[in-house]
Amino acid sequence: MGIYLNPGNIGFWKSVRSEIYVDKTGLIACTNKVINTEEQCVCVSRPRRFGKSMALKMLAAYYSCGCDSSDLFKGFKIESDETFREHLNQYNVLFLNMQQFLIRAKNDDVTGYLEQAVMKELKVTYGNLITGQDTILAEVLEKIYMRTEKQFIFLIDEWDCVMRERQESETMQKQYLDFLRDLLKDQPYVALAYMTGILPVKKVWNPTKLDLNSALNMFWEYSMTDQFVYEEYTGFTEDEVKGLCERYDMDFAQVSNWYDGYQFRQFQHIYNPRSVVAAMKSRVLSNYWTSTETYEALKIYIEMDFDGLRSDIVQMLGGERVKVNTLSFQNDMRNFEVKDDVLTLLIHLGYLGYDAETKEAFIPNKEIIGEFENAMSVSGWSKVMQVLKASEKLLEDTLRGDADSVARALDQAHTEVASILTYNDENSLGCAIGLAYYSARKDYRLIRELPTGHGFADVVFLPLPATNKPALVVELKYDKTADTAIQQIKSRHYTRALEDYVGEIVIVGINYDKDNIVKPHSCLIERLTK
């Protein structure tokens, strides 16, 4: 058993012995399908603490011929798969943690240090095939394969650390990408290459075709913009979290409000696994993101001077979604041309969720909302922070039925938000409402344009279990009357949408009169029982 060559199964053994282990061995069936095919090079990118390294330890335990993992996988999902025995412990595995090489390399010669360290181990097993003249890893692996006919599986962790931590060194990045291309592309000794990191493969400009192409075009990519067949293994699924909540006697609705929100085509509810595990073990719902990332990083990106970026951030804070073109992003942390590049990076970092069907980004959950609030509190977002700080009183006034106080608060919120959004229409009013009721997300789930009896309620606040607060249905009107909004809620039976909710409902009608300079907002509040 080596450090790089056939590291064994101790890493996976520790995982399954942990207090909380969620069976993700079905991932192995996906990788088995692509071994020795045109799709054998796989790059799976996810945010920090989404189980990337744990997945690699599992794959090492399964594929490495340096150990026997038959008993270790007993009872797990992969054991019933038809490919389980075919590939179990049948390959030489090279496990390469690029972060480790970057830290240890002198003079930033990452690839040189890697080649020396890996060949030193290869000599222990294949010393009769390697001479002192051999200095290029790819050539050594070619020689080993030619003599033994035994293929290698490459497991590469933190593949993108050079792009993230040496952002200014394009020479170093190019050397590193050339090394990976030579090592893995069209090599007969490669049965499978599975690499993971935060960023997808870096794109490079192709002057011939006048477009951006993957620098490692042999890789099939699965990222936070579309995980395809790897959706289920990106984080915890809803069923998995429900099972943990039952086991630890935790309120699933509360856990969902904190950590749900990452969305893919098939699996609409994906949770940050590290945060869920921390919440279960401590039995405390809190922001565990701060232990993996710092809000200073988020602050840098949301403060970038791109036209429309601040407006998009404000809309998402108000509970809305924004269109994002993810195709122009070069998959690094330096080259930003437009606001969409920044938003796409935030998607890959996990600060934003993304809907691949509608191509929209959004803030996924309460935990991440807290990160945005932290970042804005120490930067130039004073107008937005004023609205957020006033939101708690606004909610109290709404629940008390104080329509005049609500109208005055909305005047202020809409003024502040419109100055950032640079437009003054029904959409800006909706965004202002979402921001103005920001504090309601502590006890409510905000739903924009909830489908209702005969139309759409603009904003619905569904109370979380055990909050003992009424539901809120808010209808917005533009240049009409607040009474018109109230009557629309009643005539179109908007409250029927809350079919699983039993209790009191506060209906709120809001109108914005653009010609009324003194008091542009009017409000009516009524209480119903369902």
pLDDT beyond 60 at 488: yes
How does DSSP assign 220-272, residue by residue? EEEBTTB-GGGGGGTSEEHHHHHHHHHHHT--HHHHHHHH--B--SS---EE-
Task: Please report which confidence band the pLDDT of residue 464 belongs to, taking 50, 70 and 90 as the band edges.
Answer: confident
Domain locations along the chain: 10-222, 232-379, 382-529
Residues in the chain: 530
Task: Please report which confidence band the pLDDT of residue 212 belongs to, taking 50, 70 and 90 as the band edges.
Answer: low
- DSSP reduced 3-state for 194: strand
Task: Please report which confidence band the pLDDT of residue 151 belongs to, taking 50, 70 and 90 as the band edges.
Answer: very high
What contacts 383, CB < 8 A, 6 or more positions away? 416, 417, 419, 420
Helix 52-63, helix 10-17: angle, nearest 10: 120
Instruction: Of 301, 227, 221, give the one whose Cα is nearest residue 266.
Output: 227
Q: Report which of residues 517 and 199 the model is more confident about.
A: 199
At 82-112, the pLDDT tens digits run: 999 999 999 999 999 999 999 999 888 999 9
pLDDT of residue 512: 86
At 269-278, the pLDDT tens digits run: 999 999 999 9
pLDDT of residue 479: 85
Mean pLDDT, all residues of the chain: 89
Tokens standing for residue 47: 């945010």
For range 324-346, the mean pLDDT? 91
Q: How far apart are CA 63 and CA 40, in angstroms?
A: 14
Tokens standing for residue 375: 């970042």
pLDDT of residue 210: 44
User: Which helix (H) or strand (E) segment is 451 a member of?
Assistant: strand 444-451
Q: Which of 151-155, 200-204, 409-413, 447-451 has the highest mean pLDDT?
A: 151-155
Q: How far apart are CA 215 and CA 315, in angstroms?
A: 34
What order do you get walking across the sheet with 322-323 strand by strand? 322-323, 360-362, 353-355
Q: How far apart are CA 486 and CA 397, in angstroms?
A: 18
Of 267-276, 358-367, 473-482, the range with the lowest mean pLDDT is 473-482
249, with CB counted inside 10 A (0-12, 13-18, 19+), is: exposed
**Chain position carrying tokens 């006033």:** 390
For residues 73-83, one letter each, b for 16 or more C-beta atoms within 10 angstroms of the residue's C-beta and e for the rest, the string is beebebeebee
Of 46-60, 152-166, 417-431, the range with the lowest mean pLDDT is 417-431
pLDDT of residue 292: 56
What contacts 216, CB < 8 A, 6 or more positions away? 41, 43, 177, 180, 181, 184, 185, 201
pLDDT beyond 70 at 291: no
Q: How far apart are CA 523 and CA 397, in angstroms?
A: 12
Q: How far apart are CA 91 and CA 149, in angstroms?
A: 11
User: Which helix (H) or strand (E) segment is 417 a member of?
Assistant: helix 403-421
pLDDT of residue 452: 53
Q: Does domain 10-222 have CATH number 3.30.70.1060?
A: no
Residues 486/507, Cβ–Cβ less than 8 Å: yes
Of 245-254, 269-278, 383-392, the range with the lowest mean pLDDT is 383-392
Position 120, amino acid? K
- DSSP reduced 3-state for 31: helix
Q: Report which of residues 38 and 440 the model is more confident about.
A: 38
Of 309-323, 398-412, 453-467, the range with the lowest mean pLDDT is 453-467
For range 232-255, the mean pLDDT? 96
For range 103-129, the mean pLDDT? 91
- Looking at the chain, the whole-number percentage of residues with pLDDT higher than 90 is 60
For range 341-362, the mean pLDDT? 96
pLDDT beyond 60 at 208: no
Query: How far is the first Cα of the chain from the last one, in angstroms, to the nearest whole number?
Result: 66
For range 203-207, the mean pLDDT? 63
pLDDT beyond 70 at 137: yes
HSE-up of residue 305 (Cα within 13 Å, Cβ side): 0
pLDDT of residue 422: 58
pTM for this model (two decimals): 0.91
pLDDT beyond 50 at 302: yes
